[in-house]
Amino acid sequence: MRLINKRALITGAGQGIGKACAEIFAEEGAELVLIDKNKKTLPQVAEDLKSKGSVVDYHVFDLMHTKKLESLIGTIRAQKPVDILINNAGFDRPGVVAKTDKRKFIEVFTIHVIVPFLLIKMLIPDMRTKRWGRIINISSVYGIEGAKGEVAYSTAKAAIIGLTKTVAKEGGPDGVTVNAIVPGLIRTPPILKMPDKYKIPIISRTLLGRMGEPEEVARVAAFLASDEASYITGTTIVVSGGWGS
């Protein structure tokens, strides 16, 4: 097990990629701090992992409440420093430029960029003190390629790559690695609700000819969080089945 004696905070842990990260990180021996706003799914994920012997602390919390976030993180840090941060939480507000209002654009940018920025700002001091830390941000192929009808989401997912590269430069001298994972079309609850007229063209452009599984992204995150990835920082790893290649 590669993550014994490490404490990992995972946002959006109630389903999809976040849930898969929680499960695989638990298998690797990590102690978990899970955050999600879903009061039904998050407790189920946490209790299932606890029943298997994992140490799990979870918080049903809406990360859009940024003014209350500092208090929550203060409580978490007071218990024990966080070694690994997975910025995964997010949502989409589809729309073209002309029909996307400022409020929706700001909402998407907040959850995908402002919240990760705040979490990094609050958690990286402990990592620097220990001279060991891992920060993994979840971006998207849309953040690299852009996408018609996804102006807010694509912009935010591009911005998180910029944040990744900048924080990597700041944290590197203190032993903190910072990387971004760029998933393609992954079999998560929101994607399963996507109409076939949108999914099928993406799958047709995916070299492996299928959607990815959340676990396939989570395994990359576990690798980046481990000492095996100690010389990898400031980069993006695309997990897209070849979509975008």
Average pLDDT along the chain: 97
Per the CB < 8 A criterion, the answer to whether 182 and 237 are in contact is yes
pLDDT band, very low/low/confident/very high, at 216 (cuts 50, 70, 90): very high
Amino acid 17: pLDDT = 98
Amino acid 11: pLDDT = 98
The amino acid sitting at 11 is: T
Please compute the mean of the pLDDT values over residues 133-147 and round it to a whole number.
Answer: 98
pLDDT digits (tens, 9 = 90+) for 22-39: 999 999 999 999 999 999
For tokens 């029909």, name the residue: 99
Q: Is the pLDDT of residue 245 over 90?
A: no
Please compute the mean of the pLDDT values over residues 204-211 and round it to a whole number.
Answer: 98
Q: Is the pLDDT of residue 217 over 90?
A: yes
User: Is 198 marked active-site?
Assistant: no
Give me the DSSP letters along the chain. Answer: ---TT-EEEEESTTSHHHHHHHHHHHHTT-EEEEEES-TTHHHHHHHHHHHTT--EEEEE--TT-HHHHHHHHHHHHHH----EEEE-------B-GGG--HHHHHHHHIIIIIHHHHHHHHHHHHHHHHT-EEEEEE--HHHHH--TTBHHHHHHHHHHHHHHHHHHHHHGGGTEEEEEEEE-SB--HHHHTS-HHHHHHHHHTSTTSSPBPHHHHHHHHHHHHSGGGTT--S-EEEESTTTT-
Q: Is the pLDDT of residue 155 over 90?
A: yes
Give me the DSSP letters along 46-79. Answer: HHHHHHTT--EEEEE--TT-HHHHHHHHHHHHHH
Catalytic residue among 142, 153, 198, 231: 153
- Report percent pLDDT > 70 for the chain: 100
Q: Is the pLDDT of residue 91 over 90?
A: yes
Amino acid 232: pLDDT = 98
Angle between helices 102-109 and 151-171 (to 10 degrees): 30
Amino acid 143: pLDDT = 98
